[in-house]
Amino acid sequence: MEEHIIFEKIDLLQKTIKEKDVKKILTSEDLSFYQTAIDYIKERLNNTIPSLVQEADLTNAANEIESAISQLNTYVGNENTGHLKNSKNSILSASSRIKNLPTLITDSKFNFSSEIINFKNSLSEKNTEFRKELEDLKTQLSNLNDEITDRMTELKSVEEKLKEKKEEIDNLNSSFEEQYENDRSDFTEKLNEQVKEIKASTDDLVKYLEQKKSEASKIVNVIGNIGATGNFQKIANDHKKDANLWRVIAIVFMAGLSGLIIWAIIGLGDSEFDWTKSLIRIVAAAALSYPATYASRESSKHRKLENFNRKLELELSSIEAFIELLPEEKKQDIKEKLAEKYFGSTLDQFDDADLKSDKDFSIQSIERLFKAAKTLKD
């Protein structure tokens, strides 16, 4: 029986209630309860008749003690009084089981006076612990008061510093606002001056650009006139070359014609007049008169075309300067009238007049040649 687990459980319970954390959280009454129960259970087990004790009863009592230890440890962990109550109930249940065990009828060694003394000692120990804790709390309170005093002193110092910083910030803000207003005024004044300068420069630039625009407009008109009238000048030069060429050709034919006529006149002084030769000479002279007349006509036509194109170039190149200041509609009317005047029918008139002159000249020349031949024959 002495080897039963219940004795280990009782020793474990005794060891548990003596731990510092357990003694600190349990009251004196609680410690006295557990100690009294342990002494009672030990006394009853010492007086039990082993041969009459059933092991199951001891095992059940051991389980109750184990449950009480578990509930007590749980109470120390979370301080839930329900676990402490459960632990005490388990102890009471184990004591009740131990009480029912068969025991010898002898004087019990259980001394209530000693239990009272033990309880008193427990109270004394508890009071000593409380006093110690109270002294510790007083010391901690004093330290806390000192620390609070230090913190209050630091707080006042911080408040003073904050007040100084606030004054500095206010001064800085005031200085900044004043400086900002001054800078803004200076900047606004400079900006207005620059705006005036830019405006003046812009006005001068606009005037300069307007002047250059006018000059460019004149240049563009000159360039446009040159582009528009350049071909007329070229055509006039070409007609001048053609007129000179045809004039040289006409002079050559005229010289030949004059030579034949002079030769025919010289032949009239011969003793024997051969009218056949004279007729041939006259016919040859008449034949030369046609290309001479044609060359003369072509020279005259090209000369007229040259003069016409030069006049056209001169008028077209100078017309823009005269109508520059007129309204746009007026300009268009003048240009339409000039277009009707200069383009379309003038060249045809030149061609028709030259052709009529050429035909009249050719017929008259032939008639004169026939009359001369008839006179010579007679």
* Residue 289 to residue 254: CA distance in whole angstroms: 7
Which structure tokens are listed for 179?
């400086």
Q: At 60, which amino acid appears? A: N
Contact (CB, 8 A) for 62 and 7: no
Sign of the dihedral through C-alpha 158, 164, 166, 172 = negative
Q: What is the pLDDT along the chain (378 residues), one digit of tens a residue?
A: 567 888 888 888 888 888 888 888 888 888 888 888 888 888 888 888 888 888 888 888 889 989 989 998 899 888 888 888 998 898 888 888 888 888 776 555 545 455 555 555 666 666 777 678 788 888 888 888 888 988 888 898 898 888 888 888 888 888 888 888 888 888 888 888 888 888 888 888 888 888 877 776 666 555 555 555 657 778 878 888 888 888 888 888 888 777 777 776 666 555 555 666 666 766 766 676 777 788 788 888 888 888 887 777 777 777 766 676 677 788 778 777 776 766 655 555 555 445 444 444 444 554 554 455 445 444
| pTM tops 0.85, yes or no | no
Q: Where do the structural domains in the chain lie, given as residue ranges?
A: 5-110, 228-377
Which structure tokens are listed for 110?
């259980």
